[in-house]
Structures are given as C-alpha cells and as structure tokens.
Amino acid sequence: MTPETLAALDRAHLIHPVSSWRDQEEYGPRILQSGQGAWLTDIEGNKLLDGFAGLWCVNVGYGQQKVVQAATEQMARLPYATGYFGFASESAITLASRLAVVTPGDLNRVFFSQGGSDAVDSALRFIRFYQHARGTPEKRHVIGLARGYHGSTYTGAGLTALAAFHRDADVPLAWQHHISSPDPYRHPEGPDAAPIIAASVADLRNKVTELGGPEHVAAFFCEPVQGSGGVAIPPKGWLTAMRNTCRELDILFVTDEVITGFGRTGPLFACEHEGVVPDMMTVAKGLTSGYAPMGAVFMSEGMYSTIRDATPPGIAVGHGMTYSAHPVSAAIGLAVLDLYQNGLLDNGVTSGNHLATRLAAMKDHPLVGDARSIGMLGAIELVTDKAAKTKPTASLGISKKLARIGYEKGVLFRAFGDDIIGLAPPLCLTLEETDILCDRIEIVLNVLL
C-alpha cells in the first residue's frame, strides 16, 4: 500500500493509545518500516536515531537476530501453552528461574502478565489477597506519588497521578492516594537530598495517619525514577528512606520498575543503586525489549507463602490471563536477558556516562533549566526564565514543535508537555551515536530559540 493509502486508513480506523484523536485525524500517522540497532527507517525512507527506544522499551535495540531466532524457534515448536490447570512451558519456567536469580533479595516468585499496566493491576490484586490472607483485610489504602505513572488499567490509572489519565475517568479510586514527588529540580525545599528525603518521609507518615493509621494502609508504590512524570530522579538515599519507613509502618513497599528495569538506569534494576529490596516489584518493557508483549510481578517468599498457606488445597488464587507466561514472550525474555548479561548492560553504562557529560554541557543553553540523567534515562527541562524556572506556556506550542523538528532533524525523543524532552535510547547505543543524538538535540534546541 502507498503511504497515502495507509495514512487514510489510519485516520479512518486506528485508535492510537494516549493520543489526541483530533490531532491524529488531522496530521495522520508516522509509519515506521524497519529498524537496526538504534536506528529506525520510516515509510518514506527517512532514517531516524531512536532516542526513546520505541516507548522506553527496546533496550537491546532493533534487529537483534538472536532474539528473532529464539522467538521463531519457540513459535514453530509451541506457539502457546496455558499456565492454567497446572500446564507450563519450558521457556516460561526457565525465564522465571533465571529472573529469580537476578532480582533483588528474596523476590523469587514471579507472575507473568502481558505488559506493565496489568503487572501493576496484578500487584494490586495480589496485595488484596495478601491482606486477606494475613487477616488484615482493613488494610486497603494504597499510596503513590504525585507525577507517578502506573499504567492504563482502571486501577493503574488511579494510582497514576497525571491529569491526562484522570480526565473523565473517575479515578483515583477511593482507596488510592498520592504524596508529593521527590523531584529535585522543582522541589519546594530545593535540590538538596536531606530535606527532600525528610519531606517525603513526613508526607508518607502524615498520609498514613490521615487514612486512620497503618492498620488501614496496605502499600506504597513508587517508580525508583519517575518516568512519564518527566524523568524526575530522586536523590540518593530516598529509596532507602522510603523502604525503611514502609517497614516501620508495616506497609508493603512496591517498586514499579517497568521503565527502570533491565539496565535502563545502569544496573539490571534501579533498586540496586541503593541495595534496596522491595516487597514486590513490577516490570515490563525491557523484559522482552518490546519484541513481544510481557510484564511481570515479583513478590517476596513471605508474601507468596502467606497467600499460599491461607488458600485451602483445591481452591484457586483467582487471578490470571490467557496469555500469562506466554511461551514466545518468555523465549524472547531469555534471549534478551542473555544480551543484557553479555555486554549490553556494560555498554549502557559506558554510553550513559557519556550521555550525562553531554547533558551537563547543555545546561548552558539559554532554554535549558535542567538536564539530568541516570544511565540511559534522561530529561532536558525547558524554561523561558532560568532563575524563576518558568515553564514555557502552552501557547508557544513547543511540545508539538519539538516532535516535528526532532523528526525533521532525524532524532526521536519524547516531549512531555511543553517543557520536558525525555530520553531513553537503546542500551546498544555507541559513543558515536550518543554524540549524534546529543548533537541533533542541540540543533532542535537552537531552532526553538
């Protein structure tokens, strides 16, 4: 089909996720045709450097033949096996056992979902089962962070604290609450670690008190680095302090590593920066690197055995989907894990260090209020007045301009509103490509001047 025909069919039929339906019909799609390494080619033959790894998911890069081979072999041998009724596939069992080795602490039990949203939704259901199992069903409130993103299911959108996901959606639900974000650039207490950490700990304690005390609160959820909220990187020590506070208050500490997992911030999981072991952890994206859908929820041995022991023999723990632990996704997960463990994580650290150096230099640009990164996850925050940290107004239309100019200059990134450029390139990015990425972003910034 010609690009024009495809565009017309897209406008007529395809509902795009999290997008303006009006804009979609007005501007039509950008159709991608192929990818290799960190590069994409669109239907017109334009070559684009993917500074966002698809949707922060193609961590291993495009065209990884070992992954393609693993998927093809699995698909030919056994394209589907249910996990219901005691069945399993070799790839799912192997992936579960290999992940148990690399996940923090005793997060040895894993439930596979189809992506991040249903991993979060599954976690919330398991938390409910757990509170019933331990005889504390009144512990039902769940607390997240302002600017947090936890997916698009009903419960995930409620735990999310971004306006676009709440509009006309009747969420957050009555048991979902939020405390302030630990974003150093815009924190009212300033950028220093100690006051930010103290403020978050106090906010959490106050919220728990407001909700009637720990006996009414089940869990606290956080992203170790807030992704869709604008890549807000909490100061070192924050994760540990929140973990410890949750332990003191007897509420579950759940980290949502859907973005930060699988090398995005350097180590395999972002919790490792501080040696923190959560009670539960959700992942997706880098788990299969976008080659097929899959997410996962990890839970501690203690949580798992509490639910198991409270459920009589023959009675199902009633949660699961047709595609839980899909064998093709699991085979892909195994091939992707091999790549991470055989050099890709190291490459991500090397290129991530270079990215940090280049971003630091961008702080001198007249439009840049802040430029920050951790590993291969970064953001450039645009301001019209550096001292006052004034966000560009929507009337400047920077968000739309950014995406368009970036595309014209051959670089893909994500524009969050009118003020933040998000970066999450594939971990296979070379040092030379890191320079190309940053050079092109600087060109885009200069066009905006």
The reply on whether position 109 binds ligand PLP by CB under 6 A is: no
Residues 16-75 that bind ligand PLP (CB under 6 A): none
CB of 233 to ligand PLP, least distance (A): 14
Cβ contacts of 244 within 8 Å, gap of 6 or more: none
Part of the chain binding ligand PLP (CB under 6 A), chosen from 96-104, 143-151, 245-253, 397-405 = 143-151
Part of the chain binding ligand PLP (CB under 6 A), chosen from 147-155, 232-240, 330-338, 417-425 = 147-155
Residue 60: phi and psi, rounded to 5, are -85, -5
Sign of the C-alpha dihedral computed for residues 112, 176, 222 and 201 taken in this order? negative
CB of 276 to ligand PLP, least distance (A): 16
> 242 in helix, strand or coil?
helix
Residues 277-336 that bind ligand PLP (CB under 6 A): 284, 295
CB of 295 to ligand PLP, least distance (A): 6
Residue from the set 50, 121, 203, 223 that interacts with ligand PLP by CB under 6 A:
223
Burial 149-158 (b: 16+ CB within 10 A, else e): bbbbbebbbb
Residue from the set 51, 151, 235, 327 that interacts with ligand PLP by CB under 6 A:
151
Residue 170: phi and psi, rounded to 5, are 55, 40
The reply on whether position 120 binds ligand PLP by CB under 6 A is: yes
Residue from the set 149, 220, 262, 323 that interacts with ligand PLP by CB under 6 A:
149
By rule CB under 6 A, what count of residues binds ligand PLP? 15
Part of the chain binding ligand PLP (CB under 6 A), chosen from 144-152, 197-205, 389-397, 405-413 = 144-152
The reply on whether position 232 binds ligand PLP by CB under 6 A is: no
CB of 156 to ligand PLP, least distance (A): 6
CB of 344 to ligand PLP, least distance (A): 20
Q: Which two tokens stand for residue 322?
A: 């047709």
Cβ atoms 265, 224 nearer than 8 A: yes
CA distance 217 to 143: 8
CA distance 202 to 186: 18
Of 176 and 228, CB closest to ligand PLP: 228
CB of 284 to ligand PLP, least distance (A): 4
Q: How far is CA 294 from the centre of its chain?
A: 13
DSSP track, 154-188: HHHHHH---HHHHTTTT-S-TTEEEE----TTT-T
Cβ atoms 281, 116 nearer than 8 A: no
Q: Kindly list the strands in the beta sheet with 411-412, ordered across the sheet, starting from the edge strand earlier in the chain.
A: 32-36, 39-42, 47-50, 411-412
CB of 183 to ligand PLP, least distance (A): 15
Cβ atoms 114, 294 nearer than 8 A: yes
Residues that bind ligand PLP (CB under 6 A): 115-117, 120, 149-151, 223, 227-228, 256, 258-259, 284, 295
